[in-house]
Chain A
Amino acid sequence: MTLVNRLRSVAVPFIFGVGFLAFWEGAVKFFHLKPYFLAPPSKILSQFFDNASRIWGAASVSGMNALVGLVAGTVFGVAMSFILSRFRFLSSLITPLAIALNAIPIFVLVAVLNNMYSITSEIPRRIMVSLVVYFIVLVNVAKGLTQVKTTHLEIMHSYAASDIEILRKVRVPNAVPYLFTALKISAPAAVITSFVSEYFGGSQNGLGSRITSNIANSKNAAAWAYVLGACLLGLAFYLVSVVLENVASRGAGATNNTNK
Chain B
Amino acid sequence: MSAVHVAGVSKIFNQGTPKQVDALVDVNLTVEPGEFVSLIGPSGCGKSTLLRLIANLLEPTTGAVTVNGKTAAQSRLDQDYGMAFQQAGLFDWRSVAKNIELPLELKGWDKEKRAARAQEMLELVKLPEFADLMPWQLSGGMQQRIAIARALAAHPPLLLMDEPFGALDEMTREYMQGELLRICAETKTTVVFVTHSIPEAVYLSNRVVVMSPRPGRITEVVNVSLGANRSEDTRAADNFFSGITAVREALRGTHADHANAGAVRGVEDR
Contacts and interface: CB of A to CB of B under 8 A. Distances in A.
Q: Is B a genuine binding partner of A?
A: yes
Interface of A: 149, 151-152, 154-155, 157-161, 165, 169-170, 173-174, 176, 252-254, 256-260
Interface in B66-119: 76-79, 81-83, 85, 87-93, 95, 102-103, 105-106
B240 to A, nearest CB: 32
B81 A160 contact: no
Contact of A254 (B55, B76, B105, B134): B134
A253 B95 contact: yes
B157 interface: no
User: Which size class do B's interface residues fall under?
Assistant: 20 to 34
B135 interface: yes
Contacts of B76: 157-158, 160
B57 interface: yes
Given A159-B103, A259-B135, A170 B91 contact: yes
Contacts of B85: 151, 154-155
A259 B88 contact: yes
Nearest to A251: B93
B264 to A, nearest CB: 27
B57 A158 contact: yes
Given A158-B76, A159-B102, A254-B136, A173 B93 contact: yes
Contacts of B81: 158
Interface majority SS (helix, strand, loop, mixed), chain A: helix
A254 B98 CA distance: 14
- Of the candidates B78, B82, B135, the one having the most CB atoms from chain A within 10 angstroms of its own CB is B135
28 contacts: A149-B89, A151-B89, A154-B57, A155-B89, A155-B102, A158-B81, A158-B160, A159-B102, A160-B76, A160-B78, A160-B79, A160-B106, A161-B106, A165-B106, A169-B91, A169-B102, A169-B105, A173-B91, A174-B93, A252-B93, A254-B92, A254-B136, A257-B92, A258-B135, A258-B136, A259-B88, A259-B135, A259-B143
Contacts of B134: 253-254
B79 A151 contact: no
Which 4 A-B pairs give the minimum distances between C-beta atoms?
Answer: A151-B89, A158-B83, A258-B136, A254-B92
B76 to A, nearest CB: 5
A174 B103 CA distance: 18
Nearest to B78: A160
Contacts of A152: 89, 91
Nearest to A170: B91
Contacts of A155: 83, 85, 89, 102
- Of the candidates B76, B79, B87, the one having the most CB atoms from chain A within 10 angstroms of its own CB is B87
Nearest to A151: B89
- Of the candidates B55, B81, B83, B88, the one having the most CB atoms from chain A within 10 angstroms of its own CB is B83
Contact of B106 (A149, A159, A173): A159
Contacts of B89: 149, 151-152, 154-155, 259
Contacts of B136: 254, 256-259
A160 B78 CA distance: 8
A84 B160 CA distance: 34
A159 B92 CA distance: 18
A158 B79 CA distance: 7
A171 to B, nearest CB: 12
Contacts of B93: 173-174, 176, 252-254
Contact of A158 (B55, B90, B135): B55
B173 to A, nearest CB: 17
B31 to A, nearest CB: 17
A170 B88 CA distance: 15
Nearest to A154: B57
Given A254-B134, A259-B136, A259-B143, A157 B91 contact: no
Nearest to B92: A254
B134 to A, nearest CB: 5
A205 B106 CA distance: 55
A159 to B, nearest CB: 5
A6 to B, nearest CB: 25
Given A158-B160, A160-B79, A169-B91, 19 more contacts: A149-B87, A154-B83, A154-B85, A155-B85, A157-B76, A158-B55, A158-B83, A159-B79, A159-B106, A160-B106, A169-B105, A170-B91, A176-B93, A253-B92, A253-B93, A254-B93, A258-B136, A259-B136, A259-B143
